[in-house]
Structure 1
Amino acid sequence: MKRVVITGAGTINALGHSTAATLEAMREGRCGIGPLEFRDVDRLAIKIGGQVRDFEAEGRFNRQQMALYDRFTQFTLFAAEEAIRQSGLEFIGELAAKSGVVLGTAGGGVSTWDDNYRSVYEDGKNRVHPFVVPKLMNNAAASHVSMEYNLKGPSYTVSTACASSNHAMAQAFQMVRSGMSPAMITGGSESMLCFGGVKAWEGLRVMSKDACRPFSANRNGMVQGEGAGIFVFEEYEHARARGAEILCEIVGYAMSSDAADIVMPSKQGAARAISGALKDAGVNASEVGYINAHGTGTAANDKTECAAVADVFGPHADSLMMSSTKSMHGHLIGGTGAVELLACIMALRDGVIAPTIGYEEPDPECALDVVPNEAREAKVSVALSNAFAFGGLNAVLALKRV
């Protein structure tokens, strides 16, 4: 088995249009959640979200590209450019032939769906743009990244609701670890912040109207976000031979299914994924210093996740730090695990633990150190990133300081 490291990271989300800006916002405990701005928002009961501001797609992409790129694809290409530029890789020859793209998204081109349903059903038009299908398909972002960067190896999209990015990154990791690919572009993106996207989530009655407060006793629901997180996963010796900067090492993963309920989380399913990731990584529970929690801010998720962590880590759970950055950037659904991986990199590389902001009241069912409201300096050698999705699909990644 090969060692796998991260040599590039890029993002765009409600906290910033780059990795540096996002990590600075996380260190400051800044909130990127605010009033939503799009057509017919006044018809919604939920009017807040982690919306990407000041992103001018028309200035970055030409007219032909705009006809093909849904907002989730635009975010992906924006973040991929930063990640690949940082990595210093140029995909030519055998490297191009073997390297690929595995990305996560839950909804794909939701804005394109929304716009064209309006066109047909509300405006009464009988035709849509001929590129609607290639624009809205879930694999559009992965395909455009592969074309833009000459990536001819295994490339596809994973769609497992809120665990999409973690599942995608786990599979990219396995491809590099097995020797199938020397490098993979991976992560995820989502852009559901349009009228139809928010209206659909309203129906679940799990959304907060005022703030995301993970683990706080007065939490009242999740808040949607949007954006992308993209990474370059590279074989360690390949990266070292070319003198690449290594951000951290991916050392293990695990996936599990609750096989129980379509929306209610299972402590046992989450615990199996967490313990499986530790086993795959070959690390002891006592070595883990930080967990980036799924931490949605719903009553059910937060207490279930805390119970799972307590079960797996036993007495060590009391000395763990576990925070939810969704309190700052919102829940990016299929892209959330990718943006949250940045908090793990920051913990391992910089020794800074991102906080859970909005924390107001202790909850006895969430009695872990959730790093409330302020970032913390701490030396961490191993971190986990949790993702637990509707449908009972779980994926946990283990990372290590290099």
Structure 2
Amino acid sequence: MTARLSDQPWLTAPSTRAVMAALEAAGGIGCARFVGGCVRNALIGQPVADIDIATTLTPQETDRAIRAAGLKSVPTGIAHGTVTAVAERTPFEITTLRRDVSTDGRSATVAFTDDWAEDAARRDFRLNALYADAEGLVFDPTGEGVADALAGRIVFVGEPRTRIREDFLRILRFFRFHAWYGRGEPDAAALAACRSLAAGMTRLSAERVSSELMKLLSAPDPRTAVRAMAGAGVLEQILPEAELTPLFGAVVEQGGDAIARLMMLLPPEEAVVRDATTRLRFPNAARDRLAFAALALPAVRLSMSDRQAREALYRHGARAVADAVWRRWAAAPDKGDHARRLLALADGWRRPPLPVGGRDIARLGVEPGPETGRLLKAFEEAWIADDFPAAGHAERLAALVNAPRG
């Protein structure tokens, strides 16, 4: 299938033209082509974020060519053939054509080549093994990449098990790409290969797994992909705590973000959440957000009043309460009005500072010590119960100090 990229501002941008001209000045017309995601996304009308280039030039030749053109060259991965050119503050990752010499399921030893078909043969999916020249003419070495991209098919280059054994992360990439670019049910041969080789993911680093999982969950609608992951035993392999329930689909429909979606796959138990996210080495912010939401859940009901909501917000924080609301809403989709009210309240919440302190208590004749802490706690509880009044603090504190104990 012949194809050409059109109406792509990045293709004709001066920065892009400068980089391609620099490479072709060194290696001749056709020595460099755009590759992968930028070509795929341009074909299917999706935004292009990163511009990657493949070239027959060696990394050293690429570096010299970029510098000779007066552009910035950064040796971001010389050993694997990658140099990053920077033109008008835009980065272009340029990689020499490669073939795999050996693989171990995690990384590959590569040799450079000038054969475009060899380079395409080592890529993961046919819709990623697409190239385009400086004028936008698309080259499709597998013969099926353009058709796959337009039809929403995620199909491995060559034999799926071979591709997966080269790098077991490709199992998760298969489901991620299906979530973002696939239509209909996943490719049966790819799914069978993922199912039979799922145990190989134990070779992967936790960081690679969690990063790929979050990219998958960030797709506009990852439901089909996640359902297929669960059916193939892949979800259980990477996240044995996970359980796919209607909550997941509900939060996707309601617009919850990737963390909210992950939350629906995990039980609302702080210890379980912390164990899972620590094992997969999630960033601290994500781990804490999930744990705090689990802690907040018992305090959150969709039917609670604004006053009760403000108390929950004060005690647990806006983010945790909002996440707990998402979970309650997913369990009760017909309560959208209540959920949206609480989410709006959380969005505008600013935690008020406690209006009294130890000095105020000392001025009432109380010696510093444990009694100060008790009085502050008692004042805070009464202040929360009264819905954070803005005045009358001195009188309330004095009444507490003078109240008989017993």
Superposition TM-score, scaled by structure 1 size: 0.27
More helix by share: 2
Q: Which has the higher contact order (CA 8 A, sep 6+)?
A: 1
More strand by share: 1
The structure that has the greater radius of gyration is 2
